[in-house]
């Protein structure tokens, strides 16, 4: 397994200066790397997606477990290094691309895949949402990201961290566990605290595909001005009288704010507003 000293050596020999804008904080602690792989529960033959492999310390462990690994790296310099180090491994596919652009461009069936990655913090939330909202989303996502993002994923209704990201991920995934990772486990050490989250796809969807856009619209509308009454925010897109009747049917007070509704209540609201109901 790659050590911190080896990581430094590779960077020095290649005269590589890490780029903060790409979120290049590489996890080097062996115990946490093994813990991440264990959390993925990779079965023999399973395909694994890795975003931002960097110098490949996690990639090496994934290759020991997975049937195949697709690693997407944006930095061309690191792609060259990874190809030199791991290019002869037959079940590794190394792609030089921007992961967000790749996911939005490629229509791919991820339903049998697991995503395991030390995600670049600047795009971690966007990547998780894009994969979670893919038509055929991964069965499990194990991701290292900022601690504050982990808090948002785990937040209950009414909490300050509860919001759009919470609901867009919880619609299809259960946060089964998460653990903190100290900054000292990364090189260079980031300025923020980190955590690894384990998200498992729900056994059955809470909404049919036909209502997912409604759910997203309802959630984003509700948190567009989170201190305002939810019903008032809905009126421009849905007739006020019908929205008020739905609130009454669901037992929601007219003065309630979006941050006070549970995931299940957002689902129920989306089911009743439905496609074509917006005015």
Domain boundaries, the chain: 4-201, 209-273
What pLDDT, on the 0 to 100 scale, is given for residue 20?
66
Strand partners, 47: 68
DSSP E strand stretches across the chain: 26-27, 47-51, 68-73, 92-96, 114-118, 140-146, 173-181, 186-187, 194-201
The reply to whether 209-273 shares the fold of 4-201 is no
Q: Write the pLDDT tens digit of every residue in 42-57.
A: 999 999 999 999 999 9
Preceding peptide of 188 cis, ω within 30°: yes
Place of tokens 């991820």: 110
Q: Per-residue DSSP letters for 156-179?
A: PTTSTT-SHHHHHHHTTEEEEEEE
Distance CA 47, CA 14 (A): 31
The CA radius of gyration of the chain, in Å to the nearest whole number, is 21
> Distances in Å between the alpha carbon of 242 and those of 116, 234, 247?
44, 10, 9
% pLDDT > 90, the chain: 78
Is 0.85 surpassed by the pTM of this model?
yes
- In terms of Cβ atoms closer than 10 Å to its own Cβ (0-12, 13-18, 19+), residue 161 is middle
Q: Which two tokens stand for residue 111?
A: 């339903």
What is the C-alpha separation between 11 and 99, in angstroms, rounded? 23
CATH of domain 4-201: 3.40.50.150
209-273 belongs to CATH 3.40.50.10800: no
Give the integer Cα–Cα distance in Å for 90 and 83.
12
pLDDT of residue 22: 66
- The end-to-end CA distance of the chain, in Å, is 58
pLDDT digits (tens, 9 = 90+) for 73-127: 999 999 999 999 898 889 999 999 999 999 999 889 999 999 999 998 889 999 9
In the predicted model, is pLDDT for residue 141 greater than 50? yes
Give the mean pLDDT of the chain: 93
Burial of 120 (0-12, 13-18, 19+ CB in 10 A): buried
Give the range among 17-21, 132-136, 194-198, 250-254 with minimum mean pLDDT.
Answer: 17-21
């Amino acid at each position: 397994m790659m050590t911190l000293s080896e990581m430094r050596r590779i960077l020095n020999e290649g005269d590589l200066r890490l780029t903060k804008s790409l979120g290049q904080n590489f996890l080097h602690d062996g115990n946490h790397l093994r813990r991440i792989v264990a959390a993925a529960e990779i079965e023999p033959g399973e395909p694994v997606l890795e975003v931002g492999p960097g110098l490949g310390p996690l990639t090496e462990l994934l290759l020991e477990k997975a049937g195949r690994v697709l690693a997407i790296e944006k930095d061309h310099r690191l792609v060259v290094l990874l190809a030199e180090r791991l290019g002869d491994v037959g079940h590794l596919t190394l792609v030089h691309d921007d992961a967000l652009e790749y996911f939005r461009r490629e229509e791919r069936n991820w339903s049998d895949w697991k995503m395991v990655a030390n995600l670049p913090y600047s795009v971690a939330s966007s990547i998780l949402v894009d994969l979670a909202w893919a038509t055929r989303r991964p069965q499990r996502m194990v991701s290292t990201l900022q601690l504050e993002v982990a808090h948002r994923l785990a937040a209950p209704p009414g909490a300050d961290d509860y919001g759009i990201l919470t609901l867009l991920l919880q619609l299809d995934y259960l946060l089964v566990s998460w653990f903190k990772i100290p900054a000292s486990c990364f090189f260079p050490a980031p300025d923020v605290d980190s955590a690894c989250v384990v998200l498992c796809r729900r056994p059955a969807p809470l909404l049919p595909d036909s209502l997912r856009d409604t759910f997203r619209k309802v959630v984003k509308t509700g948190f567009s001005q989170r201190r305002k009454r939810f019903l008032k925010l809905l009126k421009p897109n849905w007739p006020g009288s019908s929205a008020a009747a739905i609130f009454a049917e669901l037992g929601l007070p007219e003065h309630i704010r979006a941050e006070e509704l549970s995931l299940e209540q957002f689902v129920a609201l989306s089911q009743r507003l439905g496609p074509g109901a917006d005015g």
